[in-house]
A and B are shown apart, each in its own frame.
Chain A
Amino acid sequence: MNCLEIERQLDAYIDGELAPAESAALREHLAGCATCSRRLAERQSLGQLVRQAPYYPAPDRLRMAVQATRNSRRLTPTMLAWAASMLLAASIGGVMMAGTRRARTAAESSASIANDVVAGHVRALMGDHLFDVRSTDQHTVKPWFLGKLDFSPPVTDTAPMGFPLIGGRLDYIGGRPVAALVYQRRQHTINVFVWPDTQPAPPEAESQRGFQVQHWTRGQMTFWAVSDLNQAELGEFARALQQ
Chain B
Amino acid sequence: MAPRKFEESVLPHLDAAFNYARWLTRNDTDAEDVVQDACVRALRFFSSLRDDNARAWLLSIVRNTWYSRFPKRAGDRTIELDDTADERPGTDLDPEARVIQQQAVERVRLALEQLPPDFREVIVLRELEGFSYKEIATIVDIPIGTVMSRLARARERLIPILRASEQPIGETRELS
Contacts and interface: CB of A to CB of B under 8 A. Distances in A.
Contacts of B135: 230
Interface of A: 8, 10-12, 15, 17, 42-43, 46-47, 49-59, 61-63, 65-67, 69-70, 73, 111, 115, 119, 122, 125-126, 166, 184-188, 207-211, 228-233
A55 B112 CA distance: 12
Interface of B: 1-2, 4, 6-9, 11-19, 22-23, 28, 31-32, 35-36, 39-40, 43, 52-57, 82, 85-86, 88, 90, 101, 104-105, 108-109, 112, 123-124, 126-128, 130-133, 135, 148, 151-152, 155, 158-159, 162
Interface of B is mostly: helix
A204 B43 CA distance: 31
Given A56-B23, A230-B131, A230-B135, A122 B12 contact: yes
Contact of B13 (A50, A52, A69, A210): A210
Contacts of B108: 49-50, 52-53
B6 A10 contact: no
Contacts of A210: 9, 12-13, 52-57
Contacts of B131: 230
B19 A55 contact: yes
Contact of A58 (B15, B56, B86): B15
Contact of A11 (B151, B159, B162): B151
A61 B126 CA distance: 27
A59 B127 contact: no
A17 B135 CA distance: 12
B54 A233 contact: no
A211 B159 CA distance: 32
A62 B101 contact: no
A187 B31 CA distance: 19
Contacts of B32: 59, 61-62, 65
